[in-house]
């Protein structure tokens, strides 16, 4: 399957517009005037990670994510109306209005859940990969998580378990260099990159640009020998939680692809 640049732009544009609209309507968790009674962790600036990887996966793949899950949910085909209803706490939400922004799920689309506790998505997805293997299902599992999860013991235990049992799982670390607002350099050893440390367990690689096509091609290559690990260097535009944009959006994966396509946005969406 070849890379479809127009489809990639459309998916990233959807992720971007949804989070922009949430940002404009969100009044702050706990605020009396805020109808979205849930914390929100926006994917603004990181859209190419989810879209590039998920486009490379077979349709039968199951996807898991961490608290910053909007882009992954939408890229996998999650129901938009059910997602927004969930943010508003409605019973028509994808989790009955009880989970909020960090607990999105659409089983029909193959998005099996998002988990707010750092590192939890990794171990849960690893268990899902083990189940698929034991049941003889030809299914790939993919899980998205941030660089802060690399400081969790259960993540490294999951890597060891997946490598020992040769599980059909792709681990995707969206490295935005921040844990809340703390840079990675003061949290982790910097003598080696994240992906270099994971190579002790499985094939691993890193992408340092935010081209959705590059991400797609690398993910596609890694799927040939699972388990595998992909670190994607990305940029988070918004604050850790909430609608405020705190970083200069100098790196824009949508603009990068639009310039490559050299046609107007109206023609793409």
Residue 15 tokens read as 């992720």
E strand intervals along the chain: 62-65, 111-114, 141-146, 169-175, 178-179, 182-183, 203-207, 228-233
State the Cα–Cα distance between residues 46 and 207, nearest whole angstrom. 13
Q: What are phi and psi of 187, to 5 degrees?
A: -115, -25
Are 216 and 2 in contact by the 8 Å Cβ rule? The answer is: no
Are 150 and 142 in contact by the 8 Å Cβ rule? The answer is: no
pLDDT of residue 186: 76
Q: Per-residue pLDDT for 242 more than 90?
A: no
Alpha helices in 26-152 (DSSP H): 47-56, 70-75, 80-87, 120-134
Q: What are phi and psi of 141, to 5 degrees?
A: -110, 140
Q: Per-residue pLDDT for 29 more than 60?
A: no
State the Cα–Cα distance between residues 165 and 132, nearest whole angstrom. 12
Residue 107 tokens read as 């089983």
Q: Specify the 3-state DSSP secondary structure of 58.
A: coil
Q: Is 224 exposed, middle or buried (0-12, 13-18, 19+ CB in 10 A)?
A: exposed
Say which residues have a Cβ less than 8 Å from residue 94's Cβ, sequence separation at least 6: 78, 79, 82, 83, 85, 86, 104, 105, 106
DSSP 238: B
pLDDT of residue 264: 59
Q: What is the pLDDT of residues 143-162, one digit of tens each?
A: 999 999 999 999 999 999 99
Q: What is the pLDDT of residues 163-203, one digit of tens each?
A: 999 999 999 999 988 877 777 777 777 777 899 999 999 99
Q: Per-residue pLDDT for 68 more than 90?
A: yes
pTM: 0.93
Element (H, E) at 255: helix 253-261
DSSP 156: H
């Amino acid at each position: 399957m070849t890379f479809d640049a127009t489809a990639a732009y459309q998916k990233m544009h959807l992720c971007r517009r949804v989070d922009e609209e949430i940002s404009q309507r969100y009044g702050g968790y706990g605020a009396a005037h805020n109808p979205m009674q849930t914390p929100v962790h926006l994917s603004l600036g990181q859209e190419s990670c989810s879209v590039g990887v998920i486009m490379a996966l077979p349709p039968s793949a199951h996807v898991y994510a961490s608290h910053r899950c909007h882009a992954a949910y939408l890229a996998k085909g999650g129901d938009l109306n059910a997602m927004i209803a969930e943010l508003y706490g409605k019973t028509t939400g994808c989790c009955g209005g009880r989970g909020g922004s960090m607990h999105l799920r659409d089983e029909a689309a193959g998005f099996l859940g998002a988990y707010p506790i750092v590192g939890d998505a990794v171990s849960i997805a690893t268990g899902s990969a083990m189940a698929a293997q034991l049941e003889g299902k030809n299914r790939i599992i993919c899980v998205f998580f941030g660089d802060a999860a690399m400081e969790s013991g259960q993540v490294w235990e999951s890597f060891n378990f997946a490598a020992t049992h040769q599980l059909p799982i792709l681990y995707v670390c969206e490295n935005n260099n921040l844990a809340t607002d703390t840079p990675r350099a003061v949290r982790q050893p910097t003598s080696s990159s994240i992906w270099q440390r994971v190579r002790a367990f499985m094939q691993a690689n890193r992408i340092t640009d935010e081209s959705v096509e590059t991400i797609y091609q690398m993910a596609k290559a890694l799927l040939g020998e699972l388990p595998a690990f992909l670190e994607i260097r990305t940029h988070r535009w918004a604050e850790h939680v909430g609608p405020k944009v705190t970083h200069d959006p100098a790196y824009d994966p949508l603009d990068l692809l639009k310039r490559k396509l050299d046609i107007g946005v109206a023609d793409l969406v």
